[in-house]
Amino acid sequence: MKNSYFGDFIKGFWKENPVLVLLLGTCPTLALTSNAANGAGMGAATTFVLIGSNLVISLIAGFTPKKIRIPVYIVVIAAFVTVVDLLLKAYAPPALYDALGIFIPLIVVNCIVLGRAEAFASKNGMFRSVLDGAGMGIGFTIALTLIGIVREFLCSGSAFGIKLIPAWEVDFLLPGAAPGAFIIVGVILALKSFFNRRSAIKKGKLYVPPQGIDCRNCRICRIDDR
Amino acid sequence: MSLRDSENTWVLGVFLGIVALIAALALALVSDWTAGSIKAAQEKNRTAMFDRLQLDEFDRTGSDVMIGKMIFCAVYNAGKCIGFVGEGSAPGYGGSIDAMVGFDLSGKITGVQILRHKETPGLGAEVCDRKFRRTILNLGVKAPEVPENIYLDQFKGQLASGAGKWQIAKDGGKFIYRTGATVSGRAVTSLVNDIAVSFAAHRMEIQEQSK
């Protein structure tokens, strides 16, 4: 499983989910999950950027000078983000663009995208990098949509704009606002690690965070010791 | 020494320059390719907004006339002017609120539509958004073209000539507002008031210039 293509694709969904496990891209996670539709839209836009940037970066990583690789990656990512912005402007429903508009440029500085470029695409082939980008993007979308559904439901009893409890008249504002986002994301993370730990203990194992995804394996901050 | 390990500033600079150039070229292509669609989408957006002002049937809009910071235009059907539209913006609670107001020939407001706003979801946004309340009980029902909004609909039928002192009830006026969203309600009311005042004062000018 460790080196299979399927494993590359599927690992982002849950085992190395960028939001829930890697804890990357927290800014869009908190800012854009006030309802489920926004979360899903942001996830889809980021997925497109991830696939595109991973593809191009895996192709150019072989001959990119090490000293300037980060600026080069950022140029590639920024180009893809601008493409997404233009495409959304041209073809997305106006309501979606109004909601996501100011956050689209922020995908450039989303650490998931640069993180995957540096940690995966620059060291692996084109095909595996595209799979990794798609998997991570889908994992990001899953997490954002999940948090969005929870927040929207707690806020107004609805999901994707459809009221599930018709009698729920007055919005409860906390989950929809920024402080609520922190609380809910925190609760979801705590629950996830609680269940992971419990199942590990049940199987008689010691719970350790997934291998290969923490600071020790990322070299973004330490450009020179590569 | 390979390119990958190069430390020569010139090589690095030229490499980065080439990457930026390729990216710029690619963006120019995409921008060129989507320019038509973006323009069409914006145009469609604007017409959709005009349609939602509940003016009489019209087939074209006149050219824009700037009065102060507001934009006005006349609306025509078969060559005859059937109404006017005014657009303006005012600072709300979370940023500027852009609104569009439709007037018929007698100077009555036919509808108010908020184009853009950044008000608090659940509070100020309730004042600005026209959203159909979709619940699991009415999934199959078609949403009305102009969903109602009691805060915006209260301006409907008001005469523009009566504007000037439109205020929310808290400030001693006659318009209702949402508790907890006083600033948004105040902003929308004074914006509609200003557009109506400006329209009433410059109506002749607008009619003559907006062909």
Instruction: Determine contact, residues B63/B211, Cβ cutoff 8 Å.
Output: yes
In tens, the pLDDT along B174-186 reads: 888 888 888 999 9
Tell me what pLDDT residue A165 has.
Answer: 83
Those residues of chain A that have pLDDT short of 50 are: 1, 223-226
Quote the crossing angle between the two packed helices A36-60 and A69-91, to the nearest 10°: 140
Pick from B34, B98, B118, B131 the residue to mutate for testing the A interface (most A CBs within 10 Å).
B34
Tell me what pLDDT residue A32 has.
Answer: 84
Residues of B in contact with A155 (CB under 8 A): 121-122
Residues of A in contact with B45 (CB under 8 A): 94
The four Cα atoms B89, B90, B95, B101 give a dihedral, to 10 degrees, of -50
Check B27 against A65: CB less than 8 A apart: no
C-beta atoms surrounding A205 within 10 Å: 10
Check A65 against B6: CB less than 8 A apart: yes
C-beta atoms surrounding B7 within 10 Å: 10
Tell me what pLDDT residue B21 has.
Answer: 96
Domain-by-domain residue ranges, chain B? 3-49, 57-209
In tens, the pLDDT along B186-195 reads: 999 999 999 9
Task: Give the distance from residue B63's alpha carbon to the nearest chain A alpha carbon, in angstroms.
Answer: 24
Ranking A2-6, B9-13, B203-207 by mean pLDDT, the lowest is A2-6
Task: Give the distance from residue A38's alpha carbon to the nearest chain B alpha carbon, in angstroms.
Answer: 13
Tell me what pLDDT residue A148 has.
Answer: 92
Q: How far apart are CA B12 and CA B17, in angstroms?
A: 8
In tens, the pLDDT along B21-55 reads: 999 999 999 999 999 998 888 888 877 888 888 77
Task: Give the distance from residue A215's alpha carbon to the nearest chain B alpha carbon, in angstroms.
Answer: 25
Pick from A60, A108, A122, A171 the residue to mutate for testing the B interface (most B CBs within 10 Å).
A171
- Which residue would you say has higher pLDDT here, A179 or B7? A179
In tens, the pLDDT along B47-87 reads: 788 888 877 778 888 888 888 888 898 888 888 888 899 99
Q: Say which residues have a Cβ less than 8 Å from residue A189's Cβ, sequence separation at least 6.
A: A20, A23
Of A90, A155, A171, the CB nearest to B34: A90
Question: CA B109: distance to chain centroid?
Answer: 16
